């Protein structure tokens, strides 16, 4: 019961933080491109290898499973259809968000959390600036931009991994595979996936920053917060994925 | 007749610049102030003493609203801090600078960038003027020529002095010092104390100093406020503090003087 109240409290606080962040983002105050590009670099460029590795092997493994499962029906030729749909609609956005989110969100929490316990966040205010503008806004914008891009990359690489498996195991040509994929996927699939990724990007950044800003208790507190963030982000991504999927498919 | 400059200002009716009125503050069950009443006069140096973890840093932070009070009022330059809108808060923080207990330098920025931070935020001047100001304040805290270093390359004492340089860069009217001399060697303690005195005497800066260092306290302070049992009931001049018969304060003050006398007898 009390943990439910706590959860509601956190959700309320995150909503307020989001409100203040977007107010800054959409006002002319948010002009600090150097902060933004630093964050995009860290969040996006620093994460592409995780996204690629995850997608490559997930795509490959799904291809093996589907090829095997479809075999009794003589349908392994159509593995590409199934796998590409699964990757573009679900696994691309979700897996990328969980893995990249763990890395990036934990990084945000550790960074902002240590600044908080060493009074650097207070110092930002004391010196006449706004911690939300300096710390939260650039990270939120960076993640909202980078997550869809990483997801797009993951989609491609995932399908590529699947293609390699289908070509060797089932023996279709690359052209056949690509044709099948293009035949199956419609633009809406891609857009749904990328829209979800945009939301995930926002969740990752805002949760990472929120936990960081509420870190207390020295270095030990930073450690605890970082773990909390990874858990919170994974759960947020998975639960919101369910809700967002429902929402998007109802259109 | 002529040597009036060395005398402290005559006791004209003192002008209150900061006033805490019935301020209450608690963190959950941890009650810090119940209640806090305190006035600070223009141009004076007020030292706040009290045990560890009793809320001295909290007092400074409430004053520039890094922490919000639970109830009560804080007046600063005649304006209410606790309900001040965000926009005005910037002006308040332009006039009141704070040296944080752990210096709170930004790790990702160089010393020069750290000191320029408030100058940039308050649009203090052009690039050249800022560079010059950085040089000047580093000189004042006795660390010239370290502009390019990162905080990770500095010792604790050096960080503190850079933190002080950053606080005074913007030429504030009030400076809040959270343990300015803790962790410094005796030479630098003297230097920082000298600087605090100089800022007060020459520029008429009002200072609130939190310290455990009773030697420094007696060197720099005009008045002392003793934080005890979640209140600030005892305030008075340093002479009164020395002559007090309030046992907890006596212990505090004698603790400081005790070490002094022990050192004295060894010579
Ligand atoms: N943001 C905060 N959230 C919760 N508790 C806090 C917060 N800031 C301070 N406290 C608590 O308030 C009390 C007073 O803290 P404060 O830092 O003011 O002590 P202090 O008098 O400065 O001590 P020291 O001399 O050791 O610096 C402590 O018990 C601390 O745990
Ligand atoms: Mg303190």
Q: Encode pLDDT of B9-25 as tens digits.
A: 555 678 999 999 999 99
- Cα–Cα dist B232/B39, whole Å: 10
Interface probe, candidates A34, A127, A139, A214, chain B, greatest B C-beta count within 10 A:
A127
Per the model's pLDDT, the better-predicted residue between A126 and A3 turns out to be A126
Tokens representing B122? 């308050």
Per the model's pLDDT, the better-predicted residue between B18 and A77 turns out to be B18
Residues in chain A: 251
DSSP classification of residue B224: E
Q: Given this model, what pLDDT does residue A31 score? A: 63
> Which residues are near ligand 1 (CB < 6 Å)?
A 216; B 27, 30, 32, 52-58, 101
Contact B40, B34 (CB under 8 A): no
End-to-end CA distance of chain B: give it in Å, rounded: 38
User: Is residue B263 over pLDDT 80?
Assistant: no
Q: Given this model, what pLDDT does residue A1 score? A: 63
Q: Encode pLDDT of A90-138 as tens digits.
A: 999 999 999 999 999 999 999 999 999 999 999 999 999 999 999 999 9
Query: Least CA distance to B168: which residue of chain A?
Result: A127
* Nearest by CB: A128 against B66, B90, B104: B90
Other CB atoms within 10 A of residue B104 CB: 25
Number of domains within chain B:
1
Bridge partners for B231 per DSSP:
B228
Domain assignment present for residue B7? The answer is no
Q: Encode pLDDT of B47-96 as tens digits.
A: 999 988 999 999 999 999 999 999 999 999 999 999 999 889 999 999 99
- Cα–Cα dist A93/A148, whole Å: 8
Q: Encode pLDDT of A225-235 as tens digits.
A: 999 999 999 99
Could A127 and B107 be called an inter-chain contact, meaning their C-beta atoms sit closer than 8 Å? no
Judged by average pLDDT, the poorest of A26-40, A63-77, A79-93 is: A26-40
Which residue out of B27, B61, B62, B231 has the highest number of ligand 1 atoms within 8 Å of its CB and is therefore the one to mutate? B27
User: Is residue B261 over pLDDT 60?
Assistant: no
In which band, very low, low, confident or very high, does the pLDDT at A199 lie, cut at 50, 70 and 90? very high
Which residue out of B31, B47, B58 has the highest number of ligand 1 atoms within 8 Å of its CB and is therefore the one to mutate? B58
Q: How far is the CA of B61 from the centre of ligand 2 (A)?
A: 10
The reply to whether A235 touches chain B by the CB within 8 Å rule is: no
Q: With CA atoms as reference, report the closest residue to A47 among A102, A108, A113, A90.
A: A102
- Cα–Cα dist B28/A42, whole Å: 37
* Nearest by CB: B100 against A119, A128, A129: A119
Per the model's pLDDT, the better-predicted residue between A54 and B262 turns out to be A54
At B78 the three-state DSSP class reads coil
In which band, very low, low, confident or very high, does the pLDDT at A223 lie, cut at 50, 70 and 90? very high
Query: Least CA distance to B67: which residue of chain A?
Result: A122
Closest-lying ligand 1 atom to the alpha carbon of residue B56: 21
Going from N- to C-terminal start, the domains of chain A cover 2-249
**CA of B178: how far to CAs of A35, B148, B245, in Å?**
30, 26, 27
Side by side, the strands of the sheet bearing B16-27 are: B30-41, B16-27, B71-76, B79-80
Domain assignment present for residue B266? The answer is no
In A55-88, which positions are buried (b, 16+ CB within 10 angstroms) versus exposed (e)? Answer: bbebbbebbeebbeebeeeeebbbbbbbbbbbbb
Q: Given this model, what pLDDT does residue B253 score? A: 81
Contact B186, B142 (CB under 8 A): no
**Residues 6+ positions from B244 with CB-CB distance below 8 Å:** B234, B236, B250, B253
Q: Measured in whole angstroms, how far is the alpha carbon of residue A62 from the centre of its chain?
A: 21
Percentage of residues of chain A with pLDDT beyond 90: 75
Q: Encode pLDDT of B119-154 as tens digits.
A: 999 998 899 999 999 999 999 998 999 999 999 999
Average pLDDT over residues B189-215: 90
- Cα–Cα dist B62/B82, whole Å: 8
Q: Given this model, what pLDDT does residue B249 score? A: 87
CA angle B240, B244, B249 (to 5 degrees): 110
User: Is residue A29 over pLDDT 60?
Assistant: yes
ipTM of the complex: 0.87
Domain assignment present for residue B264? The answer is no
User: Is residue B259 over pLDDT 60?
Assistant: no
In which band, very low, low, confident or very high, does the pLDDT at B265 lie, cut at 50, 70 and 90? very low
In which band, very low, low, confident or very high, does the pLDDT at B182 lie, cut at 50, 70 and 90? confident
Chain B residues with CB under 8 Å of A129 CB are 117, 121
Residue nearest to atom 28 of ligand 1 (CA): B53
Closest-lying ligand 1 atom to the alpha carbon of residue B61: 18
Could A128 and B93 be called an inter-chain contact, meaning their C-beta atoms sit closer than 8 Å? yes
- Cα–Cα dist B105/B164, whole Å: 10
In which band, very low, low, confident or very high, does the pLDDT at B262 lie, cut at 50, 70 and 90? very low
Could A129 and B121 be called an inter-chain contact, meaning their C-beta atoms sit closer than 8 Å? yes
Domain assignment present for residue B147? The answer is yes
User: Is residue A21 over pLDDT 90?
Assistant: yes
In which band, very low, low, confident or very high, does the pLDDT at B118 lie, cut at 50, 70 and 90? very high
Q: Which long-range contacts (CB under 8 A, 24 or more apart) does B147-151 make?
A: B147/B110, B147/B111, B147/B112, B148/B110, B148/B111, B148/B112, B149/B110, B149/B111, B150/B107, B150/B109, B150/B110, B150/B111, B151/B103, B151/B105, B151/B106, B151/B107, B151/B109, B151/B111, B151/B114
Q: Given this model, what pLDDT does residue B213 score? A: 86
pTM: 0.89
Could A128 and B122 be called an inter-chain contact, meaning their C-beta atoms sit closer than 8 Å? yes
Question: Residue B241 class from Cβ within 10 Å (0-12 exposed, 13-18 middle, 19+ buried)?
Answer: buried
Range of the domain at B242: 16-256
Domain assignment present for residue B3? The answer is no
Per the model's pLDDT, the better-predicted residue between A87 and A1 turns out to be A87
Chain A residues with CB under 8 Å of B93 CB are 125-128
- Cα–Cα dist A111/B100, whole Å: 19
Other CB atoms within 10 A of residue A248 CB: 15
The CATH number of the domain holding residue B124 is 3.40.50.300
B48, containing H or E segment: strand B45-50
Find tokens 């009390």 and name the residue. A2
Q: What is the mean pLDDT of chain B?
A: 88
Find tokens 């633009």 and name the residue. A187
Return the half-sphere exposure (C-beta side, CA atoms, 13 A cut-off) of residue A145: 15
Could B93 and A119 be called an inter-chain contact, meaning their C-beta atoms sit closer than 8 Å? no
User: Is residue B200 over pLDDT 80?
Assistant: yes
Interface probe, candidates A19, A123, A129, chain B, greatest B C-beta count within 10 A:
A123
Q: How far is the CA of B178 from the centre of ligand 2 (A)?
A: 7
User: Is residue A145 over pLDDT 90?
Assistant: yes
Interface probe, candidates B58, B106, B122, chain A, greatest A C-beta count within 10 A:
B106
Q: Encode pLDDT of A146-187 as tens digits.
A: 999 999 999 999 999 999 999 998 888 999 999 999 999 889
- Residue B41 phi, psi (nearest 5): -95, 155
Residue nearest to atom 20 of ligand 1 (CA): B53
- Cα–Cα dist A239/A11, whole Å: 14
Residue nearest to atom 30 of ligand 1 (CA): B53
- Residue A125 phi, psi (nearest 5): -65, -45
């Amino acid at each position: 019961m009390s943990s439910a109240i706590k959860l509601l409290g956190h959700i309320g606080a995150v909503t307020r933080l989001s409100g203040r962040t977007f107010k800054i983002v959409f006002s002319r105050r948010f002009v600090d491109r150097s902060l933004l590009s630093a964050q995009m670099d860290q969040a996006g460029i620093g994460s592409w290898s995780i996204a690629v590795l995850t997608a490559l092997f997930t795509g490959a493994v799904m291809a093996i499973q589907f090829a095997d499962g479809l075999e009794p029906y003589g349908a392994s030729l159509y593995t590409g259809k199934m796998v590409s749909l699964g990757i573009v609609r679900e696994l691309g956005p979700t897996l990328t968000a969980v893995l990249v989110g763990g890395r990036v969100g934990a990084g945000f929490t550790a960074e902002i959390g240590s600044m908080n316990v060493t009074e650097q966040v207070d110092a930002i205010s004391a010196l006449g600036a706004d911690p939300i503008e300096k710390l939260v806004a650039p990270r939120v914008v960076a993640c909202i931009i980078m997550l869809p891009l990483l997801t797009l990359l993951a989609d491609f690489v995932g399908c590529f991994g699947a293609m390699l498996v289908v070509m060797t195991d089932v023996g279709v040509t690359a052209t056949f595979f690509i044709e099948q994929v293009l035949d199956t996927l419609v633009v809406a699939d891609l857009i749904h996936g990328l829209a979800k990724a945009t939301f995930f990007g926002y969740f990752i950044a805002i949760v990472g920053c929120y936990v960081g800003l509420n870190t207390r208790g020295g270095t030990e507190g930073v450690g605890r917060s970082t773990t909390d963030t990874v858990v919170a982000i994974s759960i947020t991504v998975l639960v919101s994925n369910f809700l967002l999927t429902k929402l998007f498919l109802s259109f | 007749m002529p040597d009036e400059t060395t005398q402290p200002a005559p006791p004209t009716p003192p002008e209150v610049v900061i006033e805490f009125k019935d301020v209450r503050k608690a963190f959950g069950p941890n009650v810090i102030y119940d209640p806090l009443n305190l006035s600070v006069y223009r141009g004076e140096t007020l030292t706040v003493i009290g045990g560890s973890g009793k809320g001295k840093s909290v007092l400074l932070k409430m004053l520039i609203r890094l922490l919000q009070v639970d109830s009560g009022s804080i007046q600063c330059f005649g304006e209410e801090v606790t309900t001040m809108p965000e926009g005005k808060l910037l002006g308040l923080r332009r006039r009141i600078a704070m040296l944080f207990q752990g210096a709170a330098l930004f790790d990702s920025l160089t010393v020069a960038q750290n000191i320029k931070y408030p100058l940039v935020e308050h649009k203090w001047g052009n690039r050249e003027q800022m560079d010059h100001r950085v040089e000047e304040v580093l000189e004042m805290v006795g660390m010239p020529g370290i502009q390019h270093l990162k905080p990770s390359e500095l010792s604790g004492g050096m960080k503190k002095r850079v933190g002080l340089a950053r606080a005074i860069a913007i030429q504030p009217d009030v400076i809040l010092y959270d343990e300015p001399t803790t962790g410094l060697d005796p030479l630098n303690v003297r230097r920082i104390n000298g600087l605090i005195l100089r800022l007060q005497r020459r520029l008429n800066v009002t200072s609130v100093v939190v310290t455990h260092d009773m030697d420094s306290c007696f060197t720099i302070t005009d008045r002392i406020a003793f934080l005890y049992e979640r209140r600030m009931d005892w305030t008075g001049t340093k002479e009164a503090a020395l002559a007090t018969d309030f046992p907890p304060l006596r212990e505090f003050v004698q603790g400081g003087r005790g070490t002094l006398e022990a050192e004295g007898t060894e010579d």
